[in-house]
């Protein structure tokens, strides 16, 4: 990592790669519930959840953090998808009492082993995943993997944390196995292929939303041919969207979703990878055929390589 390679501290960094869409109006909850993969109607005030916005074919246009702040909702999304997502959602507002706007403020990422202690020193009680709190004029939302996201009001005081790096923030997301869809991977991957249901981004008991039929069919009747896995490479971080290949095959064996420099050198990344290619054991980055990829563990269990066909 280019800055703060150690996590032994408490750090804050602007997340230039993230953005916030503010959703307001009397019908905001119902509207988002009908459009996203998570149970927005069941989201308690001052809480957040993972979600996705999908195409009718079930491919993820964007992954999201849905954050309920009072009567409003904020959708944290990749910055290069914020306006496309806002524009597409706006097409379906119709007569609903809903407004959507990309906010000018940049989210702030908080992380580090000493972050809980820094908060406690400042009088903040132990943070609970997905339950937000106020800190020095910032609204802060803890994520399940230990990172936190802050949204600052105008002219708020500086946080008493060291300057961090967005690369470190991304690396933590990679090691947590949480995919973050950007423009390079938008509309290419279904939720289960990205392990999105394993991190809580899909509710299979809610009503219809775009792509719901495809996602449900894959869950109950399909056979997955690819899953998200983590790898280490002794190369600089590959770009999102870069292809994987297996042996000498020209066909793509997968696609990189997120990557970051690893603290000890090289890079770590998560990629949706064809299961058949993994079984062959010779997967490599398309641009670096001589570089072997070392599998990395994920912090959650990935189900058997193929779903069993069952009757609904």
**Choices 2.60.120, 3.90.220, 3.30.1560, 2.40.30: CATH for 225-299:** 2.40.30
Q: Which of 196, 178, 226, 180 is nearest to 37 (CA)?
A: 196
- CA-CA distance, 243 to 240, in Å (whole number)? 9
Whether domain 11-175 has CATH 3.10.28.10: the reply is no
Q: Where in the chain is the domain with CATH 3.30.1360.120?
A: 11-175
- Residue 305's pLDDT band (cuts 50, 70, 90): low
Query: How many angstroms from the chain centroid is the CA of residue 132?
Result: 18
Q: Where in the chain is the domain with CATH 2.40.30?
A: 225-299
For the stretch 103-119, pLDDT in tens is 998 999 999 999 999 99
For the stretch 236-248, pLDDT in tens is 999 999 999 998 7
Check if the beta carbon of residue 270 is closer than 8 Å to that of residue 282: no
pTM: 0.94
Check if the beta carbon of residue 227 is closer than 8 Å to that of residue 272: yes
- CA-CA distance, 35 to 157, in Å (whole number)? 36
Q: What is the average pLDDT score of the chain?
A: 92
- CA-CA distance, 301 to 37, in Å (whole number)? 21
- CA-CA distance, 261 to 272, in Å (whole number)? 19
148-152/162-163 β-pairing: unpaired
Tokens of 167: 């690369």
Which of 6-15, 84-93, 172-181, 296-305 has the lowest average pLDDT?
296-305
- CA-CA distance, 291 to 233, in Å (whole number)? 7
- CA-CA distance, 177 to 279, in Å (whole number)? 20
For the stretch 171-226, pLDDT in tens is 999 999 999 999 999 999 999 999 999 999 999 999 899 999 999 998 887 778 99
- CA-CA distance, 164 to 110, in Å (whole number)? 8
């Amino acid at each position: 990592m280019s800055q703060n390679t150690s996590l032994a501290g408490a750090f804050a960094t602007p997340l230039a790669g993230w953005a916030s869409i503010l959703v307001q109006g009397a019908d905001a909850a119902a509207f988002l519930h009908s459009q996203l993969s998570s149970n927005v109607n069941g989201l308690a005030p001052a809480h957040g959840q993972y979600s996705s916005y999908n195409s009718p074919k079930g491919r993820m246009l964007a992954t999201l953090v849905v954050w309920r702040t009072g009567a409003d909702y904020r959708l944290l999304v990749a910055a290069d998808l914020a306006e496309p997502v806002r524009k597409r959602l706006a097409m379906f507002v119709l007569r609903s009492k809903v407004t959507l706007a990309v906010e000018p403020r940049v989210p702030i990422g908080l992380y580090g082993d000493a972050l809980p202690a820094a908060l406690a020193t400042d009088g903040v009680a132990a943070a609970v995943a997905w339950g937000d709190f106020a800190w020095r004029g910032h609204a802060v939302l803890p994520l399940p993997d230990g990172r936190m996201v802050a949204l600052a009001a105008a002219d708020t005081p500086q946080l008493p944390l060291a300057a961090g790096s967005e690369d470190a923030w991304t690396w933590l997301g990679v090691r947590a196995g949480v995919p973050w869809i950007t423009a390079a991977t938008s509309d290419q991957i279904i939720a289960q292929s990205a392990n999105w249901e394993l991190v809580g981004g899909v509710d299979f008991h809610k009503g219809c939303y775009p792509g719901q039929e495809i996602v449900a069919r894959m869950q109950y009747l399909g056979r997955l041919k690819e899953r998200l896995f983590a790898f280490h490479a002794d190369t600089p971080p590959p770009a999102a969207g870069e292809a994987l290949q297996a042996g000498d095959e020209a066909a793509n064996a997968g696609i990189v979703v997120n990557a970051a420099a690893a603290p000890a050198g090289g890079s770590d990344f998560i990629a949706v990878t064809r299961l058949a290619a993994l079984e062959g054991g010779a997967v490599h980055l398309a641009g670096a055929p001589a570089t072997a990829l070392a599998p990395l563990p994920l912090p959650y269990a990935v189900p058997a390589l193929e779903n069993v066909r069952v009757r609904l």
